[in-house]
Chain A
């Protein structure tokens, strides 16, 4: 490997872009190592279904992928200045793990104000092993059954009504951060509420249940399980609804619409003004004749 990269580096440095060769090689090296890790690490997974062995398997994965921030036993890591590096995990429950790892937010690629959604690094089976391990640390919300979150579980004749009710709950509880059309919005300090479009029913349910990152918790006792499902039914209905009024430009309201008006609308007006005021061609013939 070392030999190969050296040779490659030597080759590249002879080339026109010699100055960047080192960087390119470094990136390649990192990519290969990272890729190999991602591909090879699932090899540690075992197929055993028995509870204890799932928890053990989860712990093994945890030690490799999570412990550096959350501590070896999920007790959390607190920095000297009192800030939390990784929060303690006892009591967050399997639902939190399923959400965070299942949407690729965890493991974080680097520390930052917010863990962004990205490619999922673990297989289904590994995620449930990790969830089983974290659930064993302390009681917390479990991964919901599909009936709890799937709007199709609502009897056909009640669905319309559920969507209307869900809309009311959504507008009361969610739109402050996630925007009226669920397209997300900005929070202070570089944080943001993500768009809810294209997020799976299960993950939306788990997010309400566990309150990931800055999002508040909406526990089942206060916002009932069926009410959460109504919200999901509503979200699905607005996602499928045709856009009667034409393009919604991301449904960000005045931001994107204003930008469009300024660039395209005023741009077109300026274009016309230039055309109107430009002097038309003159004929030499006239002066000569």
Chain B
């Protein structure tokens, strides 16, 4: 449908509140009327496209020339390969873009045109045709008259959802109690992360922080194989990581039921933020505040891990400590509450 036809068809309802002033008078560019200028613009555009091809070739040259790996070539202290690959490819694309735009601005026709839009509503005639076709279909299929067919079809479509649900179960076993439990057990040693060395309370100074793990992560069986390894190790580590901190005992204000959870001012807290589970060990020894770098939740470790700032809704879970026969720090039990972020069943 051409512009004129639309105008004629909508003639009556398309009353415009303001008279359409029409186009400005077209003014040609220098390149439209001056051959020299036109040729100059043509050369400019071609130059940009040419430069782009040069850059593309230089990219290949850079790719084969510069060494990467252990002894990389350097350019001003940076990796030469990276710098030149990025520069040449970037410039190759940029030059094509600049050339294209220069072409459009200087040489492509720029006579203004206008095209009116179709109204979005279909004509009454079209609407009637569509509606009658639909009604005809309903009548012909007899879906209204034979409810048995209709209902059994709906039932079949619904039942198709079941295979999907059953197959989705394969995404993994239900978590069970895994969210509530960690590997911490009564008597398990609290050991240094990375080195696995056990820790005594008197080895720590006031203001000391230790990033620690349960001893079982470093335990090996008779054949020298780690007891917990692979995926299981990662999953358990994600829940069981702890920090030990030592404060002046008089600074600590434990809840009445937590009075024997520390050893000589050493307390043990989960390292997993109760907001969305970032590992936290950003501890200010003078204020006793533990700050989560992800969203700035702040916990007071001298005051039972209470939240004093930020989006976390629960205090940081504390692991009750005691010492074993050799004087090393061990857990009294697992964490008395689930560690990490809240989840549905926890409310």
Interface residues of A (CB under 8 A from B): 165, 168-169, 172-173, 176-177, 185, 187-188, 191, 211, 213-219, 221-224, 227, 242-247, 275-276, 280-283, 285-287, 289
Contact = CB atoms under 8 A, between A and B. Distances in A.
Interface size class of B (residues with CB under 8 A): 35 or more
Contacts of B106: 280
A165 B284 CA distance: 25
A98 to B, nearest CB: 17
A214 B285 contact: yes
B29 A281 contact: yes
Residue of A172, A176, A211, A280 with highest tally of chain B CB at under 10 A: A176
Q: Dominant SS at the A interface?
A: loop
Interface stretch (B126-134, B193-201, B214-222): B193-201
Interface stretch (B4-12, B49-57, B74-82, B330-338): B74-82
A216 B207 contact: yes
A280 B209 contact: no
A11 B279 CA distance: 63
Contacts of A219: 203-205, 208
Nearest to B72: A244
Residue of B33, B211, B309 with highest tally of chain A CB at under 10 A: B211
Contact of A286 (B27, B197, B204): B27
A168 B194 contact: yes
B101 interface: yes
Contacts of B62: none
Interface string B273-292: 00000011111111101010
A282 B27 contact: yes
B58 interface: no
B25 interface: yes
Nearest to B199: A222
A177 B290 CA distance: 11
Given A188-B298, A242-B79, A222 B192 contact: yes
A176 B291 CA distance: 9
A244 B79 CA distance: 4
B30 A213 contact: no
A286 B298 CA distance: 72
B285 A217 contact: yes
